[in-house]
Amino acid sequence: MANKLETATLAGGCFWCVEAVFSRLKGVEQVVSGYVGGELPNPTYQAVCSGETGHAEAVQIRFIPDTISYGELLELFWRYHDPTTLNRQGADVGTQYRSAIFYHNEEQRRVAEASREEADLAGIWPDPIVTEIVPATTFYPAEAHHQDYFRLNGLQPYCQMVIAPKVKRLQQHHADKLKGTSG
């Protein structure tokens, strides 16, 4: 009997960064970069970058909840982007880079709200978390050249300076959660 897959949709700045972290996790079957939370049907990267469509760069994660729970995904989400900066991640600025959890059902909403409160109380970040928790809307996959970007373009300067340190930190601190490792 095949494991049932669930879907998580998360926005934490540049979707290349979020995809690079979550695609390495045990129990994650697929990560697709795309756009969610806006008004324009079938947005393009250029349209989303204008900041006028209302979309966030996000990833849609298909995962096996018996291997990695939604709550575990969120625990990592809080640690691998800065959820305390409104509409910004590092040098990436605009509403398309906002921190958001797009929940697919009431259980995800409940888990997300509890997780945000727990992360805030734990003091993971020195400032309060501003991540929005909102219902998932239509998810539009990004253009093909944005998919699996870090794996395919790892030597690009942005990948080396911004994404590679996140992946290295994941390998150092959460190796037990990575594909190809025991635990």
Going edge to edge, which strands form the sheet with 6-12? 132-135, 99-103, 6-12, 56-63, 28-36, 140-141
Residue 45 CB partners (closer than 8 Å, separation 6+): 142, 143, 146
- Torsion region of 54: left, alpha or beta (phi above 0 gives left; psi -120 to 50 gives alpha): left
Q: Is the pLDDT higher at 170 or at 58?
A: 58
Are 135 and 102 in contact by the 8 Å Cβ rule? The answer is yes
Residue ranges in 1-124 assigned as alpha helix (H): 15-22, 45-49, 70-79, 106-122
Q: What is the pLDDT of residues 53-95, one digit of tens each?
A: 999 999 999 999 999 999 999 999 999 999 999 999 988 899 9
User: Which pLDDT band holds residue 42 (cuts at 50, 70, 90)?
Assistant: very high
Are 163 and 150 in contact by the 8 Å Cβ rule? The answer is yes
Q: What is the pLDDT of residues 117-157, one digit of tens each?
A: 999 999 989 999 999 999 999 999 999 999 999 999 999 99
pLDDT of residue 1: 44
In 129-179, beta strands by DSSP E:
132-135, 140-141
pLDDT of residue 91: 85
When pLDDT is averaged across residues 1-23 and rounded to a whole number, the result is 91
In angstroms, the first-to-last Cα distance of the chain is 23
Which structural domains are found in the chain, ordered by start?
A: 6-177 (3.30.1060.10)
User: Which pLDDT band holds residue 181 (cuts at 50, 70, 90)?
Assistant: low
pTM: 0.94
List the catalytic residues.
14
User: Which pLDDT band holds residue 180 (cuts at 50, 70, 90)?
Assistant: confident
User: Which pLDDT band holds residue 106 (cuts at 50, 70, 90)?
Assistant: very high
CB atoms within 10 A of CB 140: 19
Kindly tell me the burial class for residue 91, based on how many C-beta atoms sit within 10 Å of its own C-beta (0-12, 13-18, 19 or more): exposed
What mean pLDDT value characterizes the chain?
94
